[in-house]
């Protein structure tokens, strides 16, 4: 079989030894088709010692043509952030619960991958957010988010107070439990549960969703995806404010820190089976008739 994908990297859910059988089946399938296979360090831990090369995610992004992510949406979120600076597409084998991003079941894995390797697939591009924390004029923390950047209270029942700016213009000053700055991909995650709208993943837009605001007129706001969002934490909030990226990376915010959020210039490429239907996925996952 001739394929544009010659070297395949396999990434797995971290420290989940129960998926070794699925990864073994996947490896044999790919080797039988004459493809080169590399394992990330998490995937290698699920298997007995083998001759397959084990690499970190940085090396995998540099050397592979396709990354097959075995796990759930959380594993895809982690992989997308780690591979954000590499032009490598991701395809997800869903061993999780929701599967908004990882949409191939283990039962269909070989048939769907055969189609993808034959060039029959749906490709889409989605963007990540770049988050920077500025303190006393210096950038002290930077990271990427595929779903959302969340500024939230931590270890306290007190609300936090902050100002929100878009492209340097003041939007509002609010007291609340926090703010969700979401991509269209993240519109079906924490943003949705906090009352935000569902956006089609192809949209160039960013969602600002207040979390339990003190003033109920503070509503979700959709802005252009090329805007820069700035959140300024007001004095008196420290040490009860944290910033969290995709629910996985966490950092403490101090009074008068400036949080800058913008779209990353390089997109993430996702590979779906042919016939991928975003609305069918929404119907299934949201329980719509």
pLDDT single digits (tens) 68-103: 999 989 999 999 999 999 999 999 999 877 678 988
E strand map for 25-107: 36-40, 53-55, 66-71, 90-94
| pLDDT for res 100 | 87
| pLDDT for res 39 | 96
Among 16, 32, 73, 255, which one carries the catalytic annotation?
73
The mean-pLDDT minimum among 49-53, 121-125, 147-151, 265-269 falls in 49-53
At 253, list the tokens.
Answer: 């915010």
Asked whether the predicted pLDDT for residue 2 surpasses 70, the reply is: no
Residues 6+ apart with CB under 8 A from 277: none
CATH superfamily of 7-127+267-286: Probable inorganic polyphosphate/atp-NAD kinase; domain 1 (3.40.50.10330)
Asked whether the predicted pLDDT for residue 1 surpasses 50, the reply is: no
E strand map for 13-104: 36-40, 53-55, 66-71, 90-94
The question of whether 16 is a catalytic residue gets the answer: no
Would you say 220 and 187 are in contact if contact means Cβ atoms under 8 Å apart? Answer: no
Asked whether the predicted pLDDT for residue 6 surpasses 80, the reply is: yes
Could you tell me the fold of the domain covering 129-263? Tumour Suppressor Smad4 (2.60.200)
The residues spanned by each domain of the chain are: 7-127+267-286, 129-263
Q: Grade residue 263 by pLDDT with cuts at 50, 70 and 90.
A: very high
pLDDT single digits (tens) 149-197: 999 988 777 899 999 999 999 999 999 999 999 999 999 999 999 999 9
Reduced to 3 states (helix: H, G, I; strand: E, B; else coil), residue 42 is helix
């Amino acid at each position: 079989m001739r394929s544009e994908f010659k070297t395949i990297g396999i990434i797995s859910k971290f420290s989940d030894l129960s998926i070794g059988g699925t990864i073994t089946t996947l490896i044999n399938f790919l080797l039988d088709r004459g493809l080169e296979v590399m394992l990330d360090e998490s995937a290698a831990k699920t298997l007995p010692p083998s001759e397959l090369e084990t690499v970190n995610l940085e090396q995998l992004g540099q050397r592979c043509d396709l990354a097959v992510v075995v796990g759930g949406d959380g594993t895809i979120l982690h992989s997308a952030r780690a591979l954000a600076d590499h032009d490598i597409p991701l395809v997800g084998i869903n061993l999780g619960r929701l599967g908004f991003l990882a949409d191939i079941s283990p039962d269909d894995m070989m048939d769907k991958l055969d189609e993808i390797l034959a060039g029959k697939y749906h490709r889409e591009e989605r963007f990540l957010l770049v988050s920077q924390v500025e303190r006393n004029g210096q950038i002290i923390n930077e990271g990427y988010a595929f779903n959302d950047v969340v500024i939230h209270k931590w270890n306290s029942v007190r609300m936090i107070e902050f100002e929100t700016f878009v492209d340097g213009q003041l939007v509002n000053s609010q007291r609340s439990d926090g703010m969700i700055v979401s991509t269209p991909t993240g519109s079906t995650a924490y943003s949705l549960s906090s009352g935000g709208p569902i956006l089609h993943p192809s949209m160039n837009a960013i969602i600002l969703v207040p979390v339990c605001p003190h003033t109920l007129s503070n509503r979700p706001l959709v802005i252009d995806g090329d805007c820069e969002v700035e959140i300024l934490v007001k004095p008196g909030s420290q040490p009860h404010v944290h910033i969290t990226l995709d629910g996985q990376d966490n950092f403490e915010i101090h009074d008068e820190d400036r949080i800058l959020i913008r779209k990353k210039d390089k997109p993430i490429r996702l590979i779906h089976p042919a016939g991928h239907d975003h609305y069918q996925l929404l119907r299934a996952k949201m329980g719509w008739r």
